[in-house]
């Protein structure tokens, strides 16, 4: 896998650049008859059989063989009479014949072509969104109309985070919101954030929709807070809504901060092999197993890893 900033190769000229990507990197004859100009607008993660990259910019591109996929980090959210729906949008460098989204053992979500080279994937609120946000990758079967290779499979990982922080610098809120496992009946998945307010004698979090998390003090002015999925869906269904963080500091000084929360694309991959083989389901890693064993009967296993890392170790036990 090669990550090559294309802007730095501008001096090669467009024709030379396409030849470089088609021959030197991919090891196959260049075929640019259907390439979009925007394939060359930013860094592309390129692989001969598989490409995978974190999405740490407004958009990301992955290229394998004759196909480049571009995905935006933003995930649109809407509510109607059928509940909440999240939509991921992608575009391809070749005309598409069909797309289908799936997870191991089953079709999942609703994928549809929106033009010759664009498609969208809808995930319904509740079971579908909760499953993917918990860390299970969403796979997409992608078939093109032309090219030496016509069948590909993509991987999309969703994540959630806080952004647009405003308010007191005495409160620091970590941006990532992690899916963790807390053994508590059948509902053991939590969405966890962390914050710090040095010297705080109390700490609370609120929203206008009364979707307050459970807060735990970790000591040293550090706090963690968990939402179950039902309340967390309310928090992320409107990226314009505020989450309020309030702390009482020594001297009875009340400070506050606010932020928004959103769902985003965390990573994207593309392969011309079978996605199941390239990205197999997680198994119980020795490091995680040791942590789970050391935790004994304690319900909170968030310190051992993410929800999808810890779950296989509980099954193994």
pLDDT tens for each residue of the chain, 317 residues long: 444 443 333 333 433 333 333 433 333 433 443 444 344 445 799 999 999 999 999 999 999 999 999 999 989 999 988 899 999 999 999 999 999 999 987 899 999 999 999 999 999 999 999 999 999 999 999 999 999 999 999 999 999 999 999 999 999 999 999 999 999 988 899 999 999 999 999 999 999 999 999 999 999 999 999 999 999 999 999 888 999 999 999 989 999 999 999 999 999 999 999 999 999 999 999 999 999 999 999 999 999 999 999 999 998 55
Cβ burial, residue 127 (10 Å; 0-12/13-18/19+): exposed
Distance CA(73)–CA(131), nearest Å, equals 19
Total-model pTM: 0.85
Q: Which DSSP letter does residue 10 get? A: G
What are the helix and strand counts (H, E) for the chain? 6, 21
Which residues share a beta bridge with 193? 225
225, 205 contact by CB (below 8 A): yes
From the list 214, 152, 153, the residue with the least C-alpha distance to 182 is 214
- The tokens describing 135, both together, are 């860390």
Give the residue carrying structure tokens 């869906």: 233
- All domains of the chain, ordered by start, with CATH? 2-159+264-278 (no CATH), 166-262 (2.60.40.2470), 286-316 (no CATH)
Which residues share a beta bridge with 263? 160
């Amino acid at each position: 896998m090669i990550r090559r900033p294309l802007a730095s190769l501008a001096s090669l000229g467009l024709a030379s650049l396409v030849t470089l990507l088609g021959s030197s990197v991919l090891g196959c004859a260049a075929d640019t008859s259907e390439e979009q100009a925007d394939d060359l607008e930013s860094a592309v993660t390129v692989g001969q059989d598989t490409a995978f990259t974190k999405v740490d910019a407004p958009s990301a591109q992955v290229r394998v063989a004759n196909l480049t996929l571009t995905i935006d980090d933003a995930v649109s959210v809407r509510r109607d009479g059928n509940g909440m729906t999240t939509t991921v949008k992608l575009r391809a460098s070749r005309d598409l014949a069909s797309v289908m989204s799936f997870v191991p053992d089953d079709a999942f979500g609703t994928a549809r072509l929106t033009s010759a080279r664009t498609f969208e994937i809808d995930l319904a609120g509740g079971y579908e969104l909760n499953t993917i946000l918990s860390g299970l990758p969403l796979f997409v079967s992608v078939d093109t109309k032309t090219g030496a290779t016509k069948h590909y499979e993509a991987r999309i990982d969703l994540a959630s985070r806080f952004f647009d922080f405003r308010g007191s610098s005495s409160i620091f809120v970590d941006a990532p919101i992690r899916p963790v496992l807390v053994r508590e009946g059948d509902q053991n998945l939590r969405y966890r954030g962390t914050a710090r307010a040095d010297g705080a004698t109390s700490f609370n979090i609120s929203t206008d929709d009364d979707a307050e998390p459970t807060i735990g003090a970790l000591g040293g002015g550090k706090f963690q807070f968990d939402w179950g999925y039902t309340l967390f869906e309310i928090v992320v269904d409107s990226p314009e809504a505020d989450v309020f963080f309030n702390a009482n500091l020594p001297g009875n000084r009340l400070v506050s901060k606010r932020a928004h929360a959103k769902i985003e694309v965390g990573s994207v991959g593309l392969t011309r092999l079978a996605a199941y083989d390239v990205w197999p389901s997680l198994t119980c890693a020795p490091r995680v197993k040791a942590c789970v064993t050391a935790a004994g009967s304690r319900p909170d296993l968030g310190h051992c890893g993410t929800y999808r890392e810890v779950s296989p170790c509980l099954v193994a036990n």
